[in-house]
Amino acid sequence: MADDFARMAFPNESPAYRAARNALLDAEIALRRQTEAVAAMRRALPSGGEVPEDYVFERIGADFRPEQVELSELFGDHSTLLLYSYMFGPERDGPCPGCTHLLDCIDGAARHVPQRAALYAVARSPIARLAGWAHARGWNHLQLLSTAGNDYPAHYYGNTAALTPAMRAERGHADGKTWDEPMLNVFRKDGDTIRHVWASELVFAPDDPGQNHRALDFIDPVWGLLDTTPEGRGDTFFPKVDY
């Protein structure tokens, strides 16, 4: 792609502004290319490990009663399944505000993503609690599932149970303490075989100075919009469940 192209200009801008903006545009183009290169690497990953069991979740059925559903059933007509681990375990008085704001956004995306892949959010709370919260929140498209005590969160890092001693020591996590984490996992089904494809492992990577882990910023429009503003994200703002 040629990088020498006619540039835009807005009313009354200064030469200094245009020079700086053109330099930023070049950086944005480079970032776009790097983003696509990373996405291509993600798509080219070899097959991951086969899931160790057909996990049983709970959902609200057609008669508004809880019903069990196996992981293999969640794919529907698709070969790919996305599961987002929602930090809303039974020990919490309320859900994680960070997860909640992201799911506010994903509820809109859930109109469209299921045209290509199955999409659910899962949490450890009972399904009645999750369904009530989704209704109160106005989530009309995103489907929530209860892990219903299965081993999915531990196996796929929806909580910290699977952290090794070395990982705990590196991150300053106490032994024996477990809490939820906002993990996005992708699975692929081929016949009767289900394999893990990708996970947002950046959740557990060391943070850069002055930043949260930002593991799922590339699907989060709230942070993306704020990053376009002169004020940026700020040092004190974090989404809340209510304002």
Residue pLDDT, tens place only, 17-37? 999 999 999 999 999 999 999
How far does CA 213 lie from the centroid of its chain?
Answer: 12
pLDDT of 62 reads: 85
Terminal Cα-to-Cα distance of the chain (whole angstroms):
45
Is 4 a residue whose pLDDT tops 90?
Answer: no
Residues 6+ apart with CB under 8 A from 189: 72, 75, 78, 79, 80, 81
Give the separation between CA 200 and CA 195, rounded to whole angstroms. 16
pLDDT of 208 reads: 85
Q: What pairing do the DSSP bridges indicate for beta strands 80-85 and 184-190? A: antiparallel
DSSP E strand boundaries for 29-105: 56-60, 66-70, 80-85
Residue pLDDT, tens place only, 144-154? 999 999 999 99
pLDDT of 1 reads: 55
Of the CA atoms within 13 Å of residue 127, those in its CB half-sphere come to 19
If DSSP codes are grouped into helix, strand and coil, which group holds residue 234?
Answer: coil
| Domain-wise residue ranges, the chain | 11-44, 56-204
Scan for tokens 């106490």, then name that residue. Answer: 174
DSSP E strand boundaries for the chain: 56-60, 66-70, 80-85, 118-123, 144-146, 184-190, 193-199
Give the separation between CA 69 and CA 118, rounded to whole angstroms. 14
How far does CA 184 lie from the centroid of its chain?
Answer: 5
φ/ψ (deg, to 5) at 167: -65, -40
- In CATH terms, 56-204 corresponds, of 3.30.70.3290, 2.60.120.620, 3.40.30.10, 3.40.50.1000, to 3.40.30.10
Residue pLDDT, tens place only, 50-109? 999 999 999 998 888 999 999 999 999 999 999 999 999 999 999 999 999 999 999 999
